[in-house]
Structure 1
Amino acid sequence: MEEQKENHPQAAPRETQHCRISDQETNGKNSTASSNDFSDPIYKEIAITNGCINRMTRDELRSKLAEFKLETRGVKDVLKKRLKNYYKKQKLMQKEPINGNSYYDYICVVDFEATCEEGNPPEFIHEIIEFPIVLLNTHTLEIEDTFQQYVKPEINPKLSNFCISLTGITQDIVDKADTFPQVLQNVIEWMRQRELGTKYSYSMLTDGSWDMSKFLNIQCRISCIKYPSFAKKWINIRKSYGNFYKVPRNQTKLTIMLEKLGMNYDGRPHSGLDDSKNIARIAIRMLQDGCELRVNERMHAGQLMTVSSSVPLEGAPAPQMPRYRN
């Protein structure tokens, strides 16, 4: 992927007027009008506070966030978004408590590694060689469990030197691994043991569209199995991040998202499991900042499609092993 230059937000001019936000404010009484009624005075309060926050310096933002025991790392625009969402959430919770059952219990973060060659010629067929999952508990905002298995490629069983160098996955590792259908069966069993889709609601999450719409889609065709139903819808965190923090697409690369949120990459880049853990760290920070990560992409008849944010929130189905193709 072509590297894009980072656009640094310009510092806002210093103003003498400061925003007054306190715990007393966020715990005060408000109008009982409908939360959908934007003539409600509570929305005027939120708008006024947002204006104040926009005029705060980075140091003032960090000081206020620290006062509320919130994360103080990140660029200025991220800090403003964090403080605005905290204040808005506090105000709206006073009007109508949030239903704790209205969101996914878990998010499964997936970032495949696949066979590749330098330059990735268009005729090259990518096969999945690492299947990782990071299980994120949305209630505790912690990584609760992980899954990782390597996969033996069948069409191009010999890894290129470029692929080995990029992913750190050696020829010996894939030679000893199971083929994709068996690994997928192990994935499904692992998910079933955690009662995903039965006792607990969940959604898949990826860093971009390719993991599901390209890599998994191609791999299922290679292995002559139907595309698994539990992976037909997912959260593309790049879209979610760009829409939530109002940044352009070239600012949604994994390392840039981490940097903007005040974090460094932890682990080995292009290790599927390490990439998944770092994506999960971004998801946790976004949830802390008030973002409702929700499904925004899906596969339909083999094609990638966008899911509107107006569609009711729905978790993925209980995982089942897909049937073999005729």
Structure 2
Amino acid sequence: MDNFDSTLIIKNIPKSISDITNLLPTVPKETKSFGRRRVLLTYDNEATAQAVLRQLQQLEVTPGKRLNAAFFRKNEKPAANTKTIKPVRANKTTQCNLHTAGETAAPQISKQLGLLETIYVEGEPGADKTNTSSYLTKLRKPHLTMQPYKYVICIDFEATCWENQAPPKWRESEIIEFPAMLVNLQTGKIEAEFHKYVMPIESPKLSAYCTELTGIQQQTVDNGVPLQTAIMMFQEWLRKELRARNLQLPKMSKDKLIGNCAFVTWTDWDFGICLAKECKRKLLKKPSYFNQWIDLRAIFRQWYKYRPINFADALSHVKLVFEGREHSGRDDARNLAALAYKIASDGAQFAITKDLAPFQLNSNCIL
């Protein structure tokens, strides 16, 4: 890999980013702008450039689209009497040869050794421009990457519900159970657990359907705590557990955008709809670290090339058995932790799949 340089290129910078340097975890040695939408960043060495690139490629500039960042390659003329290896073209990508001109290794061997880098080319027919640095396209190389997260926190809310109710995005549900499991991705062990029942305010009386589905009784939520109190109690628990293990959530500081611990949910409903809508309706202060999470269903679909009907089907597909009661928040979160460990053990690399505030750090949250 001696032919790697230490210059990065960022392309298609959206208009919402006025100064790209504000998002850089490490200040470059030199910055060159080419118009408003392209910039070259030169670092002192390759290792620093690679570290910056890994973090930049996790930034979601718009929903479903990550920052277009890659190593910058200068066009070089081949040496005399040598044969340049032509890259293999896929449907949606162009694979660029990273060998020097004199090397004669076969393209397939180069690909296995990670010496072919897949990038998306502007203007290329069939190029996928929606997510040029997508983490999910790299899931097929488990042995070439390291798991960025040592721990994950699996959360599965239970909320008020009714028979024959509207689709999730149109409901005005209230959280009634708040569970969280801190799981070690190297051992699969749940090392800490948070659990609180929450008192609903807008619809204080549970429906018979909700009680039957979740097993949560009316008296249980009557003795619960308000959501804002539950969030404050969770933050105290979170602060204690993260500090005990030297863990950091994503975007808590400029120099550690990825972090080494992240929230995991099954679909985007828990944080993207349920918590977000309830906090907005009730004018509650929501910690900004709830804006980033890993949707394990998205990881599952891409890694196993299988679209599960539901969570139980996903467990069955990887030979896991649900333990406990379905739709119990605590049991759902524990089984989600087991699935997260299984997927990580099978080689999938985790990364943030959703960020509700892609241009903001979480520095206002003290953990």
- With over 3 angstroms needed to count, the CA separation of the structure-2 counterparts of 1:265 and 1:318, relative to structure 1, is farther
Query: Partners in 2 of 1:229 and 1:144 — Cα distance?
Result: 24
Q: Secondary structure at the match of 1:287?
A: helix
- Residue in 2 aligned with 1:112? 157
- How far off is 1:316 after superposition? 7.4
- Residue in 2 aligned with 1:12? none
What is the aligned counterpart of 2:325 among 253, 268, 273?
A: 268
Q: Which moved more, 1:102-111 or 1:277-286?
A: 102-111
- Residue in 2 aligned with 1:26? none
What is the aligned counterpart of 2:315 among 258, 261, 265?
A: 258
- Scaled by the length of structure 2, the TM-score of the pair is 0.55
Q: What are the Cα deviations for residues 45-103 of structure 1, in whole angstroms up to 9, with x where unaligned?
A: 89xxxxxxxxxxxxxxxxxxxxxxxxxxxxxxxxxxxxx97xx62xx5xxxxx66xx71
What is the aligned counterpart of 1:143 among 190, 195, 199?
A: 190
Q: Secondary structure at the match of 1:211?
A: helix
What is the aligned counterpart of 2:291 among 232, 235, 250?
A: 232
* Letter paired with 2:160: T
What runs of 5+ residues in structure 1 fail to find an aligned partner?
Answer: 1-32, 47-83, 93-97, 301-306, 308-314, 322-326
Query: Partners in 2 of 1:124 and 1:252 — Cα distance?
Result: 22
* Letter paired with 1:150: Y
- With over 3 angstroms needed to count, the CA separation of the structure-2 counterparts of 1:224 and 1:316, relative to structure 1, is closer
- How far off is 1:223 after superposition? 3.2
Say if 1:197 and 1:317, in contact at 8 Å, map to a contact too.
no
- Residue in 2 aligned with 1:282? 339
Say if 2:159 and 2:173, in contact at 8 Å, map to a contact too.
yes
Query: Partners in 2 of 1:199 and 1:146 — Cα distance?
Result: 17
- Residue in 2 aligned with 1:207? 266
Q: Secondary structure at the match of 2:356?
A: strand
Query: Partners in 2 of 1:260 and 1:155 — Cα distance?
Result: 39
- Does 2:338 match 1:293? no
- Residue in 2 aligned with 1:66? none
What is the aligned counterpart of 2:304 among 245, 249, 270?
A: 245
- Does 2:267 match 1:187? no
Q: Which one has a larger percent strand, Structure 1 or Structure 2?
A: 2
* Letter paired with 2:350: L
Q: Secondary structure at the match of 2:193?
A: strand
Q: What are the Cα deviations for residues 154-179 of structure 1, in whole angstroms up to 9, with x where unaligned?
A: 00001011101110110000001110
Say if 2:163 and 2:209, in contact at 8 Å, map to a contact too.
yes
Say if 2:315 and 2:322, in contact at 8 Å, map to a contact too.
yes
- How far off is 1:230 after superposition? 1.1
- With over 3 angstroms needed to count, the CA separation of the structure-2 counterparts of 1:45 and 1:182, relative to structure 1, is closer
Say if 2:228 and 2:285, in contact at 8 Å, map to a contact too.
no
Report the RMSD for the aligned CA atoms in angstroms: 3.3
- How far off is 1:244 after superposition? 0.8
Q: Secondary structure at the match of 2:333?
A: helix
- How far off is 1:317 after superposition? 6.5
- How far off is 1:247 after superposition? 1.7
Query: Partners in 2 of 1:141 and 1:219 — Cα distance?
Result: 32
Query: Partners in 2 of 1:180 and 1:38 — Cα distance?
Result: 59
- Residue in 2 aligned with 1:51? none
Give aligned-pair identity as a percent: 30
- Residue in 1 aligned with 2:210? 163
- Residue in 1 aligned with 2:224? 177
Q: What are the Cα deviations for residues 203-226 of structure 1, in whole angstroms up to 9, with x where unaligned?
A: 111000110111101221243123
- With over 3 angstroms needed to count, the CA separation of the structure-2 counterparts of 1:176 and 1:200, relative to structure 1, is same
Aligned length: 227
- How far off is 1:273 after superposition? 0.9
* Letter paired with 2:178: F
Query: Partners in 2 of 1:258 and 1:221 — Cα distance?
Result: 33
- Residue in 2 aligned with 1:41? 109
Q: What are the Cα deviations for residues 21-68 of structure 1, in whole angstroms up to 9, with x where unaligned?
A: xxxxxxxxxxxx89xx9847364589xxxxxxxxxxxxxxxxxxxxxx
Query: Partners in 2 of 1:320 and 1:221 — Cα distance?
Result: 22
Query: Partners in 2 of 1:38 and 1:132 — Cα distance?
Result: 51
Q: Which one has a larger percent helix, Structure 1 or Structure 2?
A: 1
- With over 3 angstroms needed to count, the CA separation of the structure-2 counterparts of 1:252 and 1:237, relative to structure 1, is farther
- Does 2:194 match 1:154? no
- How far off is 1:185 after superposition? 0.4
Q: Secondary structure at the match of 1:135?
A: strand
